Amino acid sequence: MVEFELDASERMSEQEALMWNVEKDPWLNPSGGALTITDRPPDADLLRRIMRHAVSGIPRMYQRVVPGLARISTPAWIPDPEFDFDHHFRVVHLPRPGTERQMLDLAAQLYTEPLDRTRPLWRMVVIEGLASGQGATWTLIHHSIADGIGQLRMAELFQQLSRDEEPPPEVDLEGVVAQAVADHRAKEAGGDLATSLATTAAHSIGHLVRRGVGTARRAVGEVAMWPADPKRAVDRATDLTNMVGGAAHMAASSGAGVGAPLWRDRSRHRHLEYVAVPLDELKAASRAEGATINEAFLAVIADAAVRYHEERGATFETLNASFVVSTRRDGKAGGNAFTPVPVQLPAEKMPLRKRLVEQRNVIAAAREAATRTGGISSLAGVVNLLPTSVVTRTARAQAAKLDIATSNLRGYPVPVYIAGGEVLRNVTMGPLAGTPCNATALSYGNEFTVGLFIDPVAIDDPAGFRRCVADAFADLLSDGI
C-alpha cells in the first residue's frame, strides 16, 4: 500500500476539539463507523498481527485525550500508559442462522456502545458465522482522529493488495507504547504538580498565541462581551452549530424546521441499511444529464424522501439536507479537513431529470456560501471557549431542523484484502448527530454503495426508505430518466 504522512500534531485542531466537546451530549456523537464485508472471514490471528503492526506506526491509535487548560488550549494527545490492544480488538461469532440482517443489526448495536473517552478512541471487531461463508470487519474511529478521507488512508495501513501478501513482522507493540510514554514524560519539565501545572499553562498560552493573532483577538474580544451580553454568547454558538448541524440556511429561512413532516421525532436508536449500484452506470447516467456523481446522488436521496412521504400520504416542499466538501490539501492519513454544507432541496414530486436541473443552482449556491464564510474552522476557535452546555443545546436544536446528512467518498479502484479475505463492499455508518438519517456513499471497484444509517424512530420504516432509495437509483440508471 501507499505510504502516507501521519498527523503528528500534539493537540487537536479547533474543529476536532469542537467535535470532542459536543460529544458530551451523546445525541451529538460525531463519529462514524464502517462495515467491511469480505468474501470469507478474515484470519483473526493474522489480522491481529497486522493491526498490532499498524497501531505501532500510528500514534493516534495508542494515544488518549487530555483536556486543555481552562479552554485556553485545545485537548492534547498523549500516549496511554495503560494501553491494552485487546480492549480495542475482538472477534464476534454471529448466532445461527447468520443472516446478513443479523450482521447489519450487530453493526448498528456495536455503534451504540460509546467509546471510552479515557482510552484511545477506536475499536475493531471481526465478524464470523455468516451462513453465506462471508466475513466482515466493523471499525469505529473517533472523528477527532480523522474524517472519512483520513480514515480511508489509515485503513491502507492494515489492508493488502493480494490475498497471500506477506504478513508484516511481529512487533513489540507494548514496547513501542512504553517508549512513547517515556519520551512524553521526558518532555515534561519536572515531576511535581506545581511544575507540571506551570508547564501546562505555558504550553496552553503558547498554543493560544499560535492560533493566530486574528483568531486570538476575535476570541478575546468575544469572550469579554459575554458576561454583559449572554445573548451574544448564545448567538455565537448558534452561528457555528448551525454549520455543524448543517442547518445554517434553514435557520435563517421562514421554512426552517418544516422539512420532512414524517421525520420529526428523534432517538438514539440506530438501524443500518445499504443500497449498491454499478459505478460505471452511475457515471454514465450522471454525464448524460450534465451532472456530477454527487449531484446525481443528492437527487436520488431527495427523490427517495419524496417517494417515502408520498407513499404515506404526506407532501412537503423542501428537504433540509447537507453534504460535505473536503478542504484537504495534504496527503496525510488521519486528521480532519472538511466543511458540512447545508442545502434546501426541492421536495415537490417531479421527474428525476427535472430534479437534477432544479437543484443544480441550489447546490452550487450553497457550496459557494460555505466557501465564502470559511465553514466550521472560521468560528470554532471562538465557540470552543463557550460553555459546553450552550454549544450542545444549540447544536441539538439545529440538528432537529435537518432531515438528512449526506457524504460521498471515493474508495479504492482496485481489489483490496483484509487478512486473506477479499473486500466485497464497504457499508458506511455516517454520524447522525441528532438527524433522522445519514446517507454516506463510498465507491469501491465498480460499486457505488450507499450506507443508510437511520434513526428508526424518525424513519419508522427503514426498509421502506431503503426501497425508495433503490427505486430512485433504478430510475436514474434506466433509459427513462
Tens-place pLDDT, residues 265-316 = 999 999 999 999 999 999 999 999 999 999 999 999 999 999 999 999 999 9
**pLDDT at 247 > cutoff 80:** no
Q: What is the pLDDT of residues 367-399, one digit of tens each?
A: 887 776 555 555 666 677 778 888 888 888 888
Comparing 87-91, 136-140, 256-260, the range with the smallest average pLDDT is 256-260
Closest to 428 in 3D by CA, of 406, 413, 445, 412: 406
Structural domains of the chain, ranges and CATH numbers in brackets: 5-185 (3.30.559.10), 244-412+432-477 (3.30.559.30)
What 3-state DSSP class applies to 306? helix
Cβ neighbours of residue 240 under 8 Å, at least 6 residues apart?
Answer: 18, 376, 379, 380, 382, 383, 391
pLDDT over threshold 50, residue 157 = yes
pLDDT tens track for 210-233? 554 444 444 444 444 445 555 555
Give me the mean pLDDT over the 427-432 stretch: 95
Whole-prediction pTM:
0.85
pLDDT in tens, 42-63: 999 999 999 999 999 999 999 9
User: Residue 422 in contact with residue 163, Cβ under 8 Å?
Assistant: yes
Residue 39 has pLDDT above 80, yes or no: yes
Q: How far apart are the first and last CA of the chain?
A: 40
Map grid coordinates 449531484 to a residue. 295
Q: What is the pLDDT of residues 74-123, one digit of tens each?
A: 899 999 999 999 999 999 999 999 999 999 999 999 999 999 999 999 99
pLDDT at 260: 96
CA distance 222 to 233: 8
Average predicted confidence (pLDDT) for the chain: 84
